[in-house]
Structure 1
Amino acid sequence: MDPLSVLREYAGRGDLDKIIFTGDDILFGSDYSFPANVPTAFASKQSGRPYPLSAAVFLAQHNDLKHTDFLQAARLRRIPPVSLPDRKTFLDFLQFGHNTLPTEPLLPSSLPSFTQEAHPPPPPPEEPDDDEASTAHIRAIERPLKDRNSILDARGRDFLAIYHAVLRREEERVRNKDSAPSAGRSEPSAAAAALANPKADKSLGDGFVPIILVPSASQTLITIYNVRDFLEDFVFVPSDEKVRALKGSPKPECVTVQKKHVRGERAGGAGGPVAFEVRDKPASLKADDWARVVAVFVLGKEWQFKDWPFKDHVDIFNKVIGFFVRFEDDSVDSAKVVKQWNVKIISISKNKRHQDRPAALEVWERLEEFVRRTLK
C-alpha cells in the first residue's frame, strides 16, 4: 500500500487526527504502520529529492498554519519542512484537486525502489512491540538530572569522616552483640570510666581516629567551618566567609583534617600522618568518642565545658590539650580566663595572612607531641 495514497484517503475522510507519530513510526489508526523516514513520490521541485512520509503527514495535519509558523513548528519537531512552492501542489493532491504530482504519479509502482512496503500493526500477541516503541520514545526525550559523578557531590559532608563513623558503628554493634551492657549503667559514668585511664584502648593504629573539639559559637575564631583551612592549608579564613560560600548548605557535622607535608620536615612514623576528626557538638559524643578526644579549641567561657565528663579544668587539660586562638592586637582581658588554664594561646594577625602558617604549625607541633606522649 502506498503511504501517500493512505494519507490522502485519511484526509478525504477527515481522519487526519487519527494519524499518530510514535517513535520512528507513523501509525494510521489501527490500519497501517509506516516508517516515518520512508521516502515518498512527493519530491522537492528545487532539489528533486523525495520528501519523507513524516514531512507529508506533518504538512497535512498543520496546513492551517502560516508558512513561517509551519516552518518553525516542523523544525521544533525535527521534521524536514515542506517548502512553500511544494506546499500548494501537495495540498491540491490531498484535496483531490490533482491525482498526480508534477514529478511522478503517486502510485505504488512509481515509488523509488527503496520504498519500504507498508505493514499492518502487529496482532494482539505481539503488542509488546508497541510497548517497546513507546519506551524507546520516552527514553529518547529523557534528560538526566544526575550522573554517577554528580551524585557524589555533597557539599558540607566529609566522606572520610562518614567512613570512620560507619566503622565505629560496626565495631559497637559487634561489641554489643558479644556483651550486653549493665542494667544500671548511665552514659556520663561510662564516659568517666573511659577517661579514667587516658592510655586505655588508645592506639594510633587499628583504625583509632583522634577527635578535636571546636566551639560551635560564632564569636570564636576557629570553628568547624574554617578549621580545615587553618590546619591543612595554614591560612585563616573568617567563618562568616565560609558560611556564605556554602550558599545555604547544612553545616558539616564532622570534618577530617590531616597535616600536609612541610618542606624540610622529617617524615613521621611508619604509619604516616595521622588523621583527626573535628566536631563541635560535645553533647552528641558517646563514651567511646570521649576516649578519643585529644584536643579542644577553647572559647574562653566556663559554659563551654558544661556536662563534660571531667572533674574540673585541671582534669580536662591534663587529659586533653587546649588551644586558644586570638588576634594579636586583642585586649588582654580577652585571654584573662584562659591564662588560668593549662592552655596554649595562639596569636594570629587580622590582616597579615603570611603569619597564619607558623601559628598553624605551632598547633600541629604541640598536638602531635601530645598525641605521641599520651597515646603511645
Structure 2
Amino acid sequence: MATTQDPLLLMREAIRTNSAMIPTTSADNLDAPVEVPIPQATHLVFSQSPRVALPIDTPTRFVNNENKTIDLRSCFFVWSVRESTFPSYNAAAAKLSEELPGDGSVYSFAWVERLELIAYLEGSSEESEFIKRLPGDKDGAAAASATSTAALKAAPAAGQARSGRGTLDPRLLQIYNGERRMGDRNTVLRGIKPTDFSHVRKLAQLFMARKPSPSATNIANNPALALNQKPQRRPDPIILLSPSASALLRLSNVKSFLENGRYTPTDRSSTASMLHISRLMKDIDPNRPMRFILVEGPEQFRPEYWNRVVAVFTTGQAWQFKNYRWSNPTELFRHVQGIYLGWRGEPAPETVRAFGHRVLSCAVEKWRDPTAPGAEQSRWRDREVVESIWKAIEANMRTKGWRKDAAPTSI
C-alpha cells in the first residue's frame, strides 16, 4: 500500500481511466474490496493498476479560503454527488457529517471551491488557486508524471506480493527490476551529497551591483510590489442564464448552441446546476481559450463574483432580477451585457424593447422535427446568431477591463 502517493492525482487518474474508487473498511484485500457507505469507510481503494488504498481521512493539497487542508473523504464525496445542485449538496454534506462516528465531519465546500475541485478532477483545468502544487513543480509537468512514476516504482513490489489471479508475469518483473531509476533535478545537480553553494551569492553580488536588471529596478522603485509576489490566475468570467421555463436557452442546451453553433430544444429532465464552455476571445487573449462558467441564478454568489459577470440572458421578466446585485434592469444592463433570444418572425416582448440598446435582441429559426423535410437547412443561421452574441460579449469585456492576464476589479 502506497500511502505516499498524492490523493488528488490518484482520483484524477481513476476518473480519467474510468476506474472505480471504492470506500471500504480495510486495506488488506485490495483485489476484492468490499464497498461500504462513506460514513463507515476507513480507506478508499483506487482500482487502477497498481491498486492503492489510502486512509479516507488523508489530507490533500486542496486548501480552502481559510487555509484549511481538506481531507480525502470530503473531496471524494464532492465528486460522488457532482451532478447534484448546490443546495442538495449542502444538505447531503450536513447529513453525512451527522452520520460519521465520533467527532468526524465532512467539509462543506463553497460554491467556487466545489466548482474548481470538480474541474480539476475531470481534467478540464490543470491548476487552481485552491490546490497547492507538488513540491518542485513549477510548470505542471511534475504533477502529470508523479502518478506514473510512483506506479512504476510500486509495480515490482506489488506484483511479488500478489498471488493467484492477477499475478504479474515474472518476465515483466525482471524487466522492472532491471530498469534504470531516473533522478529528479536535485539529484542530477547535487549528486548524492548536499553541496553548499552559498559562496556563489557573494561573487554574483559584484556583477548585480554594476548592472541591475530592469525588473529589479522596477521592484525597488515600487514598494507596493512584493519581492516574492506570485502572479494571480485570471478568474473565469460568468454568464447568467434565465431560469424561466419559457427561456429558449437553459443549461441543458446552451453548450451545443454557444460552442457548436446549433440550437436544440431544452431538456426539462436535466438537473445540471452549472457548466463550463470554452471560447477563444481573439481581441482579449489570442493564444488560449477562455473558460466561461454558466449558471442560472446568483444564489451562491459572493459579492466579488459580480465583477466576473459578463452577460445576462433574459426573457424580459422582472422577477429574474430579484436576487441580483442590481435588481433594477436599467441599472443592471449599464454594468452587464444583456441578451434576449427569441423565435425568428416573432417580435421581442415590450419589456425587452424598453431596455434599449444595452440588451442585444437575437432570433433563431423555430425548432422543427429533424426528420421533417428541410429541417436541417433551417438551422444554418444559428451560427450567425451565435457569432453576434459572442461579438457583443467580447466588446463588453474589453470595455470593462478584461485582459489576457487580468480581470476587472469592479464593473
- TM-score interval for Structure 1 and Structure 2 normalised by the shorter chain: 0.3 to 0.5
* TM-score of the superposed pair, with normalisation by structure 2: 0.40
Relative contact order, CA 8 A, sep 6+: which one is greater? 1
Q: For the pair shown, which has the larger CA radius of gyration, 1 or 2? A: 1
* TM-score of the superposed pair, with normalisation by structure 1: 0.44
